[in-house]
Amino acid sequence: MAKMSIKKGDTVKILSGKDRGKQGTVLHAYPAEGKIKVEGVAIVKKAVRPNQQNQTGGIVSQEAKIDASNAQLVCPKCGAATRVGHKQGEIDGHKTSIRVCKKCGAEF
């Protein structure tokens, strides 16, 4: 699996599927699977048994995982969905790879 450039907390735009065109915040990233959960996207209904936290049980709506290739990062500076570039930089004296917007060059 290729390295994902989408991280938890990023804003993404959905490129394909029933929620195409929607934007949302990444709730959870699964790099080993190449999948992400996005707030308000791919809502599914799931039957839940009663337990200590949920006394009543019943049917609950929640976000499902979607493939990371179906989402594109939205640049916080220019507001456009864009590809992600990488450049070498330093944070607290340590060399690291920094994600940058391909359109405007802003750092994520």
pLDDT of residue 1: 65
Q: What is the pLDDT of residues 10-46, one digit of tens each?
A: 999 999 999 999 999 999 999 999 999 999 999 999 9
Q: Where are the domains of the chain?
A: 1-74, 77-108
Structure tokens at 3: 């390295």
pTM: predicted TM-score of the whole model, two decimal places:
0.84
- What length does the chain have? 108
Domain 1-74 - what CATH class?
A: mainly beta
DSSP 44: E
SS3 per-residue string spanning 26-59: EEEEECCCCEEEECCCCEEEEEECCCCCCCCCEE
Q: What is the pLDDT of residues 68-85, one digit of tens each?
A: 999 999 999 999 999 999
